[in-house]
Structure 1
Amino acid sequence: MPFKANADRRHKFAKAKYKVTNWSKYNESLRRRGDVTVWIEESAAKAWFAPQNQRRGRPAKFSELAIETCLQIRAVFGLALRQTQGFVRSVFHLMELVLPVPDFSTLSRRADGLRLSNPKPRRNCEPVALVIDRTGVKIFGAGEWQETKHGTRIKRRTWRKLHLGLDLNTCEIVYSELTEDTVADPTVVPDMLDQIEGPVATFLGDGAYDGFTTRQEIAKRYDGVEIIIPTPKTAVPSPEAATAPSARDRDILAIQKNGRMSWQKQTGYGRRSRGESLMGRFKQVIGTTLRSRKLNNQRTEAKLGVAVLNTMKALGRATFEKVSA
């Protein structure tokens, strides 16, 4: 990932070319993404109804797994809630399953605070090589077009921040969080680390995560973790840099001595581009706009989108080899 200050000279360097080496398997994985049996398993039908409980009030009819299955179908095929109800009903009819389907109002109501099923345990026991990034996703309401065309004042909050964490070893999304646009990026790091199972060997993030608090939180949780975060141009070493330099001090001194491009190559900072690719994949497959109107429902919708991407990745992914520099 070249430094942005050199963007005007980027055309002088030949762009590397890659080719896919497993087209047959990759094509089959792409076909299976539209296979209904992938998204509606027999285990979901067996646990379709909610277990009995002793709480007061009307008991729930459908289990959380049933609601999650329907909402996943909605995310995969891009359906509205009413069309989701009809789609699942027709699938059950073809499967000869006599099961009721949650109506659209039930799906909307139960999505608020829905507890998603636990993801499958990680098969790879290696420490996580974590790269984090965030992007903006739009929410329901008037957008820029109405403001530009009609001069109408739009709502103050027209988008949310989606924070994602990718394991570079397995290409699995190990962390996701949806916040309001006013939430600072470093403040979500503690909650992010709480969601990650196992040790973290490498932490990659852009300059927005630079700071003593963030680095201290990461180093306190994981022994020997490699923190790769670029420092701003105005950063200066601490007073202890000459006698007991910290990791941040060493980064600042290396950038001042050899330049930012050299520091990026030495630390492997270019791997962070895969986090940006993840954001593009989320928007391409799931969408750029959240359909839910309440924040809790939007958080559920975002986590369901992450679960869908992880399932698609498990079906198979492309492998590449470099063919030219």
Structure 2
Amino acid sequence: MPHKFNAARRDKIPKQKHRVTSWPEYNEGLRQRGDLTVWISEDALSLWSAPRRTTRGGQPHYSDLAIEMCLTLGLVFKQPLRQTQGLMRSIARLLGVAITVPDFSTLSRRGNGLTLRPKPKSRCDKPVQLVVDSTGLKIFGEGDWLEEKHKARRKRRSWRKLHLGLDLVSGEIVCSDLTKDDVGDPTALPDLLDQVAGPVSHFLAGGAYDGDPTSDLLAARFGSLIEVTIPPPKKAILSPDAAKEPTARDDHIAEIAAHGRMAWQKATGYNQRSRGETLMGRWKAVIGPKLKARNFKNQKTEAKIGVWVLNRMTGLGRPSFERTA
């Protein structure tokens, strides 16, 4: 990786220093992240019961909003479904509201393919600068205890792949998807781009997305003027028509050959892709490195709620930095 080229003398390179310029607002936003009134409002309680259905079949007791609220609280406070039910009952009792709380089996059943509320429209009217990255999340399975206790051979560890798209301008997650571990990053990209509302001016991603299929897909979706920054591999070669009609990838290869990969990284703004990696670390610190749900549809619902939670926290306040050294 380019940022490791100077690893041998990394200790001699002075570290950049920054200062937060919006500390009062950001500090208050951090406090509000722990405020229960952020998660439960009067509007949510008024929509707790499901509307009467007009077709044949059983009448649901709880609306999708009620199920989503309970699952959100369970995700934020890292509670299993039974403990989530108890948490919601205690909150309803403290608020003095006469509502019934769905039991853990209802939460599990309704969470299977739950339709979440549409995300609010972004307050930023600038084109999206999209950074796409993926990470692995552990799921429930037989682990070290089986091997140690019963001397049984452990099955291959299973995991899911979480794909996230971050807008560098607004700081929000604008697209997400949870796939099985055999789905490659370029394969999941079309479904991610379908979720992006509005124009995209810049696309940054890792070397796994390198190739004509990704470039053609981005040009077809957002126009030929989109700026695509994907690092070509070390042994990449120019296209046959590079002398007459060079592509963006050819320009990247030529600039790396002329000035080096570190200079290319700085000139193209590829350093901003680290914010995508920071987002993955933030997910695993706030949401967690594992998925609690057992089946795939519930896991997809859990991942969607995690995206909503992180965006909600981002909306409460973001720090503004300025470099001091």
TM over 0.5: yes
- Structure 1 counterpart of 2:263: 262
Partner amino acid, structure 2, of 1:238: S
- Structure 2 counterpart of 1:127: 127
1:55-108 CA-to-partner distances (Å, cap 9, x unmatched) read 333222111111000111111111121111121112122222111111111001
**Structure 1 residues 146 and 30: CA distance shift in structure 2, 3 A:** farther
TM-score w.r.t. length of structure 1: 0.95
Deviation of 1:5 after TM superposition, in Å, equals 3.8
Gaps (5+ residues) in structure 1?
Answer: none
**Structure 1 residues 19 and 2: CA distance shift in structure 2, 3 A:** farther
Deviation of 1:34 after TM superposition, in Å, equals 1.4
Partner amino acid, structure 2, of 1:235: A
Q: How many matched pairs?
A: 324
Using the TM superposition, name which of 88-97 and 274-283 deviates more. 88-97
- Structure 2 counterpart of 1:293: 294
**Structure 1 residues 113 and 231: CA distance shift in structure 2, 3 A:** same
Q: Residue 324 of structure 2 aligns to a residue in which SS? A: strand
Q: State the identity as a percent.
A: 56
Deviation of 1:252 after TM superposition, in Å, equals 1.3
Cα contact 1:143–1:158 (8 A) shared by 2: no
Partners of 1:171 and 1:152 in 2: CA distance: 46
Using the TM superposition, name which of 51-60 and 254-263 deviates more. 51-60
Deviation of 1:24 after TM superposition, in Å, equals 2.7
1:294-317 CA-to-partner distances (Å, cap 9, x unmatched) read 111111111111100110111112
> What's the RMSD between the two structures over aligned residues?
1.7
Q: Residue 241 of structure 1 aligns to a residue in which SS? A: coil
Cα contact 1:166–1:175 (8 A) shared by 2: yes
Partners of 1:54 and 1:234 in 2: CA distance: 63
- Structure 1 counterpart of 2:51: 51
Deviation of 1:280 after TM superposition, in Å, equals 0.6
Q: Residue 109 of structure 1 aligns to a residue in which SS? A: helix
1:127-173 CA-to-partner distances (Å, cap 9, x unmatched) read 00010111111111123575589764333342111111100001001
Partners of 2:137 and 2:265 in 1: CA distance: 29
Deviation of 1:199 after TM superposition, in Å, equals 0.3
- Structure 2 counterpart of 1:26: 26
Partners of 2:198 and 2:262 in 1: CA distance: 32
Q: In the TM superposition, what are the counterparts of 1:281-320 in structure 2 within 5 Å? A: 281-320=282-321
Q: In the TM superposition, what are the counterparts of 1:176-191 in structure 2 within 5 Å? A: 176-191=176-191
Aligned pair 1:116/2:116, yes or no?
A: yes
- Structure 2 counterpart of 1:70: 70
- Structure 1 counterpart of 2:232: 231
Partner amino acid, structure 1, of 2:125: C
Deviation of 1:275 after TM superposition, in Å, equals 0.4
Q: Residue 262 of structure 1 aligns to a residue in which SS? A: helix
TM-score w.r.t. length of structure 2: 0.95
- Structure 1 counterpart of 2:273: 272
Cα contact 2:204–2:270 (8 A) shared by 1: yes
- Structure 2 counterpart of 1:141: 141
Gaps (5+ residues) in structure 2?
Answer: none
Cα contact 2:174–2:196 (8 A) shared by 1: yes
